[in-house]
Structure 1
Amino acid sequence: MSTCATASRDAAEPVAGTSATARTWLLVEQTGPWGTEALIESHLDPRIGRALEAAADGTGVRVALIRRPGRHADCHGSTARRVFLAHTAPGRSWMRTATITDPGALLSLDFARLGAGEHDGLWAPYTGDPLVFVCTNGKRDRCCALLGRPLAAELTVSGTEAWEITHIGGHRFSPTLFVLPYGYAYGRASAPLVKDAVESARSGRVLLDHCRGRSAWERPAQAADLAVRELIREDRADALDAVRTEAVSPPGAGEAPVTPAWAVTVAHRDGRSWRVTVEQRTDGAPAPASCGLPLGRPARMAVLSVRALPGPASSPAPS
């Protein structure tokens, strides 16, 4: 039986502009099985899971459960668990970590400030290697289990700091993952590609191959950032920022746009900037958005144009 990942790959569906959106990630270790809605269908107290979802709603914080790759014992004991906070905005990214025994204590966090990029000295800075989070929740989509779990296990054996994570969207791009501290996501990943992505992140750069986008932005800005990077061959993670996104009418649409479109202003830290026109299209080959769903035409971000805005005439090439 064909899977959604196979159908998407066969249709050559582009991955750019498909990352989950989160300015700040709150990642909570939770061993044992995960259900479809993991925050309320795991061995985490569902009352705490619901409260965390409610507290994070509208703040820019995304909460997910994580666990180490391997067998996941079905045990209910209250044990110490690792937690991570990561803010992914360009030039302001940071990571904090702690070990806690009471996940209910997370409800006292100021989610609005965390979403705005303010950690206020909470917990300890994370100073280790870049972290990889591979989506493996087979209860949401079997592709995540069939393709994600073997990848997470392979990365761990090779020494990569890898975790399994409950849900980051885009099952049909499995195996899918993101890398912190910068928050760039990848689809149809392999172990060699992930190792290159980690090595890039270690040196403050981003690997563009199979890149879905940076989670700090909504999807039009993700696509615009990657388009400018490809155009000017820029791989420094914090060199670019999507500073403005506005809805526009696509070319030829007249007064009643038939498809959503945006103009995204992407700024380089050297002063250059570009206006990127992005349109949401559903003109690809039919494919299921997830295993078990009927065929459809998944929305994709199509970059129509990239236009340099007035500014510095030239600048040094990326080093």
Structure 2
Amino acid sequence: MITCTTLSRELTEPLAATAATAATWLLIEQSGPWGAKALTESHLDAEVGRALDAACAGTGVRIALIRHPGRHADCLPAVRHEAIVAHTAPGRAWVRRAAVEDPAELLELDFAALGAGEHGGFGEAHVGGPIALVCTNGRRDRCCALLGRPLAAELAAAGHSEVWEITHLGGHRFSPTMLVLPYGYAYGRLTGTAAKEVLAATAAGHMLPEWSRGRSYWDRPGQAAEHAVRLLTGETSADALAVGRAGDAIEVRHSDGRRWLAEVAERASEPARPESCGKAPGTPSRMDVVSLREIPPQR
């Protein structure tokens, strides 16, 4: 069967710099089936879903629904919903969580503050290891269900980390995809073994470049520049690198004082391929680092 994932693999499409961008994630537990537009096509009240989506717009907060791995019959709505808020800035990442009876309560949050990294005392701090979020929404793309759900089940059975299914991470053609908190790195084309290595590395404060799609805190050019420096230096400490703008270039700063300037070009992927199963072939954009140079330390 030819799918968007098999074509992407065959064309050796790069994983780097394809992560969805979000400074902060708002994740709401919603059991039962999900539609393609899960915020308005699930047991979550559609008006509440629309209102939450609108409240997040332009704030740096990205919202998604989550559920426990396993069978998802059209069951009664949950009495309480786990809500997780996670900010992903290097050196300032945090994860907070609370149980709410009605997701409409979350509309009272200050979304602009959340996007800026201020949690306002929401819930309680997450205690424990990494949180794995595996995209499994087959109504958006069959690859997410066919490849993501078995991965989520395998990781949950292993018991090494907290595991959730999530409605959408973008990049169906890189399935199975996974976002890992607290650092907010997204990964793609994972096997069970690779995903467990990612979670073990995360628990130790590291990331793994081999399957990385980028840290969601950075925009796509920033993700590309950071990835290039990691490949150049072999640095895997999750919080070792910071990214900023330097005119038309991207500056990557290491916590030890080293700095690099990267020039990143946005190009079309050729030949054409479907970005998702069922869609017409297209040429999705890719971020290519065309130059990378170390610059002298600041005096």
Query: Aligned in 2, Cα 1:227/1:147: closer, same or farther, shift over 3 Å?
Result: same
SS for the counterpart of 1:83 is: strand
Q: Distance in 2 between matches of 1:98 and 1:22?
A: 20
Give per-residue Cα distances to partners, 1:147-198, cap 9 Å, x unaligned.
Answer: 1111111111111321100001000000011100000000101111111111
Give per-residue Cα distances to partners, 1:44-94, cap 9 Å, x unaligned.
Answer: 000100000010000000010000010013123341121111000111100
Deviation at residue 284 of structure 1 after TM alignment: 2.8
Give the letter for the 1:286 counterpart.
A
Q: Partner residue of 2:259? A: 273
Is 1:94 the equivalent of 2:94? yes
Give the letter for the 2:101 counterpart.
T
Q: Distance in 1 between matches of 2:93 and 2:270?
A: 35
Q: Distance in 2 between matches of 1:300 and 1:118?
A: 32
Percent of aligned pairs with the same residue?
57
Q: Partner residue of 1:256? A: none
Q: Partner residue of 1:317? A: none
Q: Partner residue of 1:192? A: 193
Give per-residue Cα distances to partners, 1:261-310, cap 9 Å, x unaligned.
Answer: xx211111122111111111114332111101122222111111111112
Higher alpha-carbon deviation: 297-306 or 7-16: 297-306
TM-score (norm 1): 0.91
1:282 aligned residue (268, 276, 293)? 268
Contact 2:16 2:223 in 1 (8 A): yes
Give the letter for the 2:71 counterpart.
R
Contact 1:13 1:284 in 2 (8 A): no
Q: Partner residue of 1:220? A: 221
Q: Partner residue of 1:44? A: 44
Q: Partner residue of 1:85? A: 85
Give per-residue Cα distances to partners, 1:220-275, cap 9 Å, x unaligned.
Answer: 101111110111111111110112265x4xxxxxxxxxxxxxx2111111221111
SS for the counterpart of 2:153 is: helix
Question: Any residues of structure 2 matched to 1:115-134 within 5 Å, and which?
Answer: 115-134=115-134
Residue ranges of structure 2 left out of the alignment (5+ in a row): none
Is 1:307 the equivalent of 2:290? no
Q: Distance in 1 between matches of 2:268 and 2:57?
A: 28
SS for the counterpart of 1:137 is: coil
Contact 1:130 1:202 in 2 (8 A): yes
Question: Any residues of structure 2 matched to 1:20-35 within 5 Å, and which?
Answer: 20-35=20-35
Aligned residues: 298
Q: Distance in 1 between matches of 2:52 and 2:238?
A: 30
Query: Aligned in 2, Cα 1:245/1:296: closer, same or farther, shift over 3 Å?
Result: farther
Query: Aligned in 2, Cα 1:269/1:140: closer, same or farther, shift over 3 Å?
Result: same
Q: CA RMSD in A?
A: 1.3
Q: Partner residue of 1:151? A: 151
Q: Distance in 1 between matches of 2:31 and 2:269?
A: 41
Higher alpha-carbon deviation: 281-290 or 266-275: 281-290
Give per-residue Cα distances to partners, 1:25-61, cap 9 Å, x unaligned.
Answer: 0000000010111001100000100000010000000
Higher alpha-carbon deviation: 1-10 or 21-30: 1-10
Q: Distance in 2 between matches of 1:72 and 1:50?
A: 23
SS for the counterpart of 2:210 is: coil
Q: Distance in 1 between matches of 2:87 and 2:49?
A: 21
Q: Distance in 1 between matches of 2:29 and 2:216?
A: 20
Question: Any residues of structure 2 matched to 1:107-118 within 5 Å, and which?
Answer: 107-118=107-118
Q: Distance in 1 between matches of 2:215 and 2:230?
A: 12
SS for the counterpart of 1:129 is: coil
Deviation at residue 207 of structure 1 after TM alignment: 1.0
Higher alpha-carbon deviation: 72-81 or 145-154: 72-81
Q: Distance in 2 between matches of 1:25 and 1:37?
A: 17
Q: Distance in 2 between matches of 1:245 and 1:46?
A: 43
SS for the counterpart of 2:71 is: coil
Contact 1:129 1:161 in 2 (8 A): yes
